[in-house]
Chains A and B, each alone.
Chain A
Amino acid sequence: MKRIWIDSGPDVAVMLVALAGLFILHLVAVDLSTPAVLGVWLILALVQARGLYVHARARRRLLLHAHVRFGSPLQRYLSGRLLMTLRTGLQAALLSALLLPFVIRLDQTAAWQLLLLHLPLAALARSWLGSALERHLSEHFLPLARWRFWLGLNLCLLVPLLALVSLYGRYPDLQESSLMTAISGEVALQQAQSELLLAALQFHAALDAGAWWLAQQLVPVAGLQVAGWLLLFGVKALFLWSYLLYLAGTLTLAMETRAWWRRNDGAD
């Protein structure tokens, strides 16, 4: 157990830096110009894309290893470099486009504290999953299984916790307002130096206001309220998925950097 704690140290450090980066972004993003916002978006997308790409490749390798003979040219054709890069790049670009406004609009101190407290748990889970799965899974499947289990475990932990924190949050009272009033009020509150970021923030604000409005309606049709809460949780789950992919991407990059460092160090 002591060893797991010690082994988790570097992972916690990496994720801490990643979270600190997001927090700084939360503080300063509204004053960034459009090129700076695009730069940040690109960095987030690249980090996520790296993690997604590495694990997509691992998955493909596993598939090829199981179904295609070694030495066949199909091994090369199906390794999926270009298409896989494009696909994961696009996926990462979309997810980071969601992550950016989410991080900026996360105006709840308790939610940030939750994300911080989650980091050591996430690192411990990663080490524990590594040692627990090592005994059962092949070395080809282990990294992929660890990545999937880690993402799933963290998502299952964070979604209810963040939803619980949100339940105790203060929201504008929209019971008496119309849907349009609720949305236009929340949209009007968004401010950003960059027009592009402003549009993204306004879109998210409209989505949030719609969900809050639905959740606060005291109509006899309970379906509306349920729809509101589902929308709220769904949106949160999407944000957390994107956030976890960002953390996973950071960990992958850190691991690769460490490996590269060791290689170079060893070569020297």
Chain B
Amino acid sequence: MTAQTESHGRFDRRLIGLVLVLLGGALLWLAIDQRETLHGLWRGEPTLVVELGGLYHRMPAADALALEKVSQEQLSASQPRLQRDMTQLVEEELDRIFTDIHAQVPTFADWYFSLSGEYSRMTFWLLDRAGMVDRDVVLERLQQQLFDDTEYAARLQRLNRAGAMAMKSHQQQLRGDWIEQVMERVSGRALAPESISQTDFRLSLEEVLPALDQRSGPDFESRLAVSATAASGAGATAVTMRLLGRRALGAAGGSLRMRGLTRGAARAGAAAGAGTMVCSPSVVGAPLCGALAFGLTWAVTDWGLLQFDAWRNRDMVEAELHASITALREDLEAQLLAHWEFVVEQQHAEMRQSVERTFIPARELAMPDRRRG
């Protein structure tokens, strides 16, 4: 009987224990359910300490997220503006450069359809045939008159530098505006550095600023200039020569050379005839007379043929040169704009990423239940 009572007593105790355990479990469930509230009670509402320019400002995570939005909006607005500025800069400068180049075309044509031009071509052609030189005098002249005289390569380099400077000033403007906007939003929330606890979430906006500084610094500028030069600057002259050689002189120059040879045959025939006719074989010094008559006739014939050739073909040659120069300008402009578009896009992408990275703690903190684990 006593054993049975004892067994009953033990069972009752265990049952009470089980009820207590259930009660404890329910309490723990409640505590887990109110985890965020308990966190809040223990640690207070999570706030961020935003650090900028050596000053600290306390703000809720949601307000910090508004700063991120402002920053991203500013970057989004900045990119097309900078892109537009760069396009305008490139177009205006190329307009100036190529106006000068176009203006040189008649000078080149003057030389091309002159006796000196003709004889230079013939001399170099003969020397080339004899294997003594390997130069194309027409292309050299073209290079000198159209590009060297207009300081083409130097002006392209100046354009690159001006682009880098424009980006730099744009960055400075952007940074200034950004700081102004951020400061406007954090004003009145400043706090002393001593009051910052170790467990406060810190958001250093300084990390965004060096990114801007770095991009607008001299290193970036020179890097940019070098890459832009590689794309269009120093190599552009060679590109130009190839283009012009292929396009204009392939059509006009090739036919000109043919015409030159025809002219050579015509003037040789005319000069030989004139020498025979003017100087009688009985006259003393007939060889000298013959040579003079031959030379003069040659020159006059040549001049006449050149004038005729100029009258017939000069407009076409000039038009083809203008067309080639315009095509070159279009290629170059597309190349330069693509280059700057890439640089601006890359730069803004990096800045966007920098802003995004900086504000990750704010985004995470703003989530009511940061899921991990």
A residues neighboring B (CB under 8 Å): 5-7, 9-10, 12-13, 16-17, 19-20, 23, 27-28, 30-31, 102, 105-109, 111-113, 116, 119-120, 166, 169-172, 176-178, 181, 184-186, 188-189, 191-193, 208
Q: Establish whether residues A102 and B32, one from each chain, have CB atoms under 8 Å apart when the complex forms.
A: no
- Give the chain B neighbours of A28 by CB distance below 8 A: 42
| Residue pair B372, A208 in contact (C-beta under 8 Å) | yes
Interfacial residues, chain B to chain A (CB-CB below 8 A): 11, 14-15, 17-18, 20-21, 24-25, 28-29, 31-33, 35-36, 38-39, 42-43, 198-201, 353, 356-357, 360-361, 363-365, 367, 369-373
A6 touches B28 (CB 8 A): no
CB contacts (< 8 Å) of A191 on chain B: these are 198-201
Residues of B within 8 A of A6 (CB): 11, 14-15, 18
CB-CB nearest in chain A for B24 = A16
Whether A113 lies near B363 (C-beta < 8 A) is no
* Sample of 5 further A-B pairs with CB below 8 A, known A9-B21, A176-B356: A9-B18, A20-B28, A108-B369, A184-B360, A191-B198
Instruction: Known contacts A10-B17, A116-B28; decide if A188 and B363 are in contact (CB<8 Å).
Output: no
Using Cβ atoms and an 8 Å threshold, which residues of chain B touch A107? 369-373
Alpha-carbon distance between A20 and B27 when the two chains are bound, in angstroms = 10
Chain A residues closer than 8 Å to B25, beta-carbon distance: 12, 16, 116, 119-120
Contact A31 B199 (CB under 8 A): yes
- Known contacts A6-B18, A13-B24; is-contact A109 B357 (Cβ 8 Å): no
* The residue from A16, A108, A186, A189 contacting B371, defined by CB atoms under 8 A apart: A108
- Return B207 CB to nearest CB of chain A, in Å: 10
List residues of chain A with CB within 8 A of the CB of B39: 27
Chain B residues whose CB sits within 8 angstroms of the CB of A169 once the complex forms: 371-373
Say whether A189 contacts B365, CB under 8 Å. Answer: yes
Task: Please pick, from A112, A177, A192, the residue contacting B35 in the complex, using a CB distance under 8 A.
Answer: A112
Bound-state CA distance A35–B145 (Å) is 83
Chain A min CB distance to B263 (Å) = 67
Contact, CB under 8 Å: A16 / B21 = yes
Specify the main secondary structure of chain B where it touches its partner.
Answer: helix
Give Cα A245 to B123, complex, Å.
98
Choose among B33, B360, B361 the residue with the greatest number of A CB atoms under 10 Å from its CB.
Answer: B360
A-B contact pairs, 21 of them (CB 8 A): A7-B14, A9-B21, A19-B28, A20-B24, A23-B28, A27-B35, A30-B43, A31-B42, A107-B370, A107-B371, A108-B373, A120-B25, A170-B371, A171-B372, A172-B360, A177-B357, A186-B360, A191-B199, A191-B200, A192-B199, A193-B198
Contacts of B17 in A (CB 8 A): 9-10, 13
User: Which residues of B sit under 8 angstroms from A177, Cβ to Cβ?
Assistant: 353, 356-357
Q: Which residues of B contact A120 (CB under 8 A)?
A: 25
Closest chain A residue to B363, Cβ basis: A172
Per the bound structure, the CA–CA distance linking A16 and B367 in Å amounts to 29
Query: CA A176 – CA B360 in complex, angstroms?
Result: 13
Residue of chain B at shortest CB distance from A165: B373
**A170 x B373 contact (CB < 8 A):** no
**CB contact under 8 A between A116 and B29, given known A107-B373, A108-B371, A208-B372:** yes
B14 touches A9 (CB 8 A): yes
| A25–B337 CA distance with the chains assembled, in angstroms | 59
Residues of chain B with a CB closer than 8 A to A171's CB: 371-372
Please, how many angstroms separate the alpha-carbon atoms of A19 and B32 in the complex? Answer: 11
A111 touching B373 in the complex, CB below 8 Å, given contacts A6-B18, A177-B357, A185-B360: yes
Q: CB-CB < 8 A to A19: which residues of B?
A: 28
Query: Judging by beta carbons under 8 Å apart, are B33 and A109 in contact?
Result: yes
Given A6-B15, A27-B38, A189-B361: A16 and B28 interface contact (C-beta under 8 Å): yes
Complex alpha-carbon distance, A93 and B372, angstroms: 24
- What residues of chain B lie closer than 8 Å to A193, measured between beta carbons? 198-199
On chain A, the residues within 8 Å of B199 by CB distance are: 30-31, 191-193
Complex: how many Å from CA A36 to CA B202?
24
Contact: B21 with A105, CB < 8 Å?
no
B31 cross-chain contacts in A, Cβ below 8 A: 20, 23
A112 to B363, CA, bound (A): 23
Instruction: Output the nearest chain B residue to A30 by Cβ-Cβ distance.
Output: B199
Determine how close the nearest CB of chain A comes to the CB of B30; give it in whole angstroms: 10
Instruction: Name B197's closest neighbour in chain A (CB-CB).
Output: A193
Instruction: Determine whether the beta carbon of A106 is less than 8 Å from that of B372.
Output: yes
User: Chain B residue with minimal CB distance to A194?
Assistant: B198
Closest to A180 in B: B357
Contacts of A12 in B (CB 8 A): 18, 21, 25
